Copies of this chain bind each other. A is one copy, B any other.
């Protein structure tokens, strides 16, 4: 057995104990984690300091250094997040429907934990705690495979969580960190059938693609967001300008940020200069279709590739379209099924857009930036699913469960 297979086996065994644990014991584990985060703050900052120093030495770009860096405030936020998860209702154990069949069998559908969940992620150490505690609350063991850039931070955070779960009588292997951070270990995790019930990749398009391509275990695809805002012929143009500005500029690096603006031809000449003025405040680079470039001198010509790119940056592709139908077609051809918005005052166009656009979240007259577990009222989220199986959109704690049928009989045979 390889090191990872042993880790998988231990997680599977731990999961049998954890899934049978009561809500009180699981909440006690989470409380212990929150307390340890605060108590061991100095250790965490010291380990994180090593990662940040190494990152700077290796020339990591500033945005990544920022994601990697922990501060007292960020640690306190993590602890607060863990306490919020403890306060959630336990999704497991709920019997969703139970009915007596004509033959007298009483059949109920009970929510249970998913099993062992693998998470592959990149340079954000807060994911280590956020993801693990959400999994634990739903009764799942978790195997974390973080990026090498955050290894020291992740290691101290994982050990702290192991100590905490052990302190309330649960197996340490409820949470574990893959110690090998080479590509080899990621590939091995993707094929750990028999141990992993589901693998969730959290990261950029390259990571997601690699996992979807190579995984033999069930995967929940997350996060790639090539999102559009379509400004209809009948639209409140001031509202439209505010929405595209927010969707692009409020946080360009995240998956629910807009990457392409589609504008109906009849309003393009009026709307585009107004939108461009808004976007200019954040120095957004505009890459336009020929019609856009004719209206906006500051726009550079877009290539075909631009329509398929998640910039994650202050860049926006802009295209003029002849109808809502053309916008919907463009989204179908280029969107990633994440978040799509229309700005319109027309009732029928709004309803048609909601029906016809195939994405996790479809908006009328609002920014795509709201696609998020807490904005949707789900509490913390483990990621945003862009696939249709199992879960779609922000995945909260309910999406980390499965079900089983329980059947009470009196000797029935068929």
A interface list, Cβ under 8 A from B: 16, 19-20, 99, 101, 105, 107, 112, 114-115, 193, 197-198, 212-213, 216, 218-220, 236, 239, 242-243, 245-247, 250, 332, 354-356, 358-367, 369-371, 375-377, 387-390, 392-393, 402-414
Contact = CB atoms under 8 A, between A and B. Distances in A.
Contact of A216 (B198, B212, B389): B212
Given A360-B405, A363-B407, 9 more contacts: A101-B375, A107-B377, A115-B388, A243-B411, A250-B414, A364-B408, A366-B408, A375-B414, A389-B390
B403 A392 contact: yes
B370 A105 contact: yes
Contacts of A407: 361-364, 366, 370
Given A404-B359, A406-B354, A366 B411 contact: yes
Which of A107, A114, A250, A404 has the most B CB atoms < 10 Å from its CB?
Answer: A404
B409 A402 contact: no
A204 B106 CA distance: 30
A97 to B, nearest CB: 9
B216 A409 contact: no
Contact of A387 (B218, B363, B369): B218
Given A105-B370, A239-B411, A405 B365 contact: no
B411 A236 contact: yes
B411 A356 contact: no
B370 A388 contact: no
Contacts of A366: 105, 407-413
Contact of A404 (B20, B246, B358, B389): B358
A223 to B, nearest CB: 16
B193 A405 contact: no
Nearest to A246: B413
A267 B402 CA distance: 35
A212 B367 CA distance: 39
A22 B246 CA distance: 36
Contacts of A376: 101, 107, 405
A412 to B, nearest CB: 4
B408 A367 contact: no
Contacts of A409: 363-367
Nearest to A401: B388
Nearest to A244: B413
Given A193-B212, A389-B390, A355 B20 contact: yes
A112 B361 CA distance: 12
A114 B413 contact: no
In the A-B complex, the 9 residue pairs with the smallest Cβ-Cβ separation, listed nearest first, are A366-B409, A246-B413, A388-B402, A390-B390, A239-B411, A365-B409, A369-B414, A361-B405, A366-B412
A413 B408 CA distance: 51
A365 B107 contact: no
Contacts of A371: 405
A218 B245 CA distance: 36
A328 B354 CA distance: 48
Contacts of A404: 358-362, 392-393
